[in-house]
A = this chain, B = another copy of it.
C-alpha cells in the first residue's frame, strides 16, 4: 500500500518560479492580444519593430542582442518583416557582413499605432498596484534577474 505522504509539502502553487512563469504568461498574453490579434505580428517581429521604433536604425546584431533573439530567430523575423515591407535593410559600411535595419514608413506607422495601445495596457495592469508596490516591482525584477543570471551561468 502507498499512502503517498505529503512529506515535504512541496507545492507548485507556492513555488515562486512557477508563480512568476504563470504571471508572465498571462501578462504577455494581454500585450500579445494587441500585436498578434490586431496587427498580425509575431512576438519576435514585434520586438524588432519596437527596438527600431524607439532607438532608430540599428545593426541587426545589436537588435538581436537587445531583443533577446538568437541569430536564427532574428534572421527569420527580419525576412518576414521585409516581406511585409515593414523594415528595410542596407549593407553596413563598417562591417559588410552585417546589415543596418530601418523601419519603412509603413513600419513606423505601425509602431506609432501599437505603442500607445501597449502602454495603455501596461498602465492598466500597474493600476492594480499601489505606487510603493509598483516601485518595489522594478527593484525586485532587477535584483531577481541578476541573481538568476548568476545562478544560470553556474549551472
Contact = CB atoms under 8 A, between A and B. Distances in A.
Interface stretch (A72-80, A91-99, A121-129): A121-129
Given A57-B4, A124-B151, A26 B136 contact: no
Number of copies: 2
Interface in A101-142: 102-103, 108, 112, 115-116, 118-119, 121-122, 124-129, 133, 136-137, 139-141
A42 interface: no
Interface string A11-35: 1110111011111111111110100
Contacts of A10: 50, 53-54, 115, 118-119
B133 A148 contact: no
Contact of A8 (B16, B54, B124): B54
Nearest to A103: B4
Contact of A22 (B30, B125, B145): B145
A50 B17 CA distance: 13
A52 to B, nearest CB: 8
A16 B145 contact: no
Contact of A17 (B31, B127, B139): B31
A121 to B, nearest CB: 7
A25 to B, nearest CB: 8
A50 to B, nearest CB: 5
